[in-house]
Amino acid sequence: MNAPCDRCGIEVAARGMLCGDCLDVLEMTKAEMRDYTNGLIRTLKTSDHSDSQIAVYTGLSQRTVERRRKVLGIPPVTKPARQFWSDPEKALESNLRGIYAHNARRSAA
């Protein structure tokens, strides 16, 4: 499930997600950032993403994602993710392409 960033329109992993650059600009407090990433963990878990994929998407460590998932009461994924996101290298490559494109647009403006 790919969707545009809520702020700039770059393709990200899930609806309601922001790209890394937009997160940096927002300057969220720690509590706001925790609430945001917890919401992403819930969203991505319902679409069968593994902890390692969520770690790539959110910028958190896999261990932090595992801890938050347990606190939120979300069971681990038992079946593989859909589409090409099951390959972490392709997911990272796609996210980096989006970041590079965003930076290029921002520097051109």
The string of pLDDT tens digits covering residues 16-45 is 677 766 766 666 666 777 777 777 777 776
Token pair for residue 75?
């069971």
Distance CA 68, CA 84 (A): 25
Count of domains forming the chain: 1
The string of pLDDT tens digits covering residues 53-97 is 777 777 778 888 788 777 777 777 655 555 555 566 666 676 677
Q: Which domain holds residue 13?
A: 3-108
Confidence at residue 39, expressed as pLDDT on a 0 to 100 scale: 74
Our measurement of the distance from residue 74's CA atom to the centroid of its chain's CA atoms, rounded to an integer in Å, reads: 17
pTM beyond 0.85: no
Reply yes or no on whether the pLDDT at 50 is more than 70.
yes
Reply yes or no on whether the pLDDT at 106 is more than 70.
yes
Q: Is 61 helix (H, G, I), strand (E, B) or coil?
A: coil
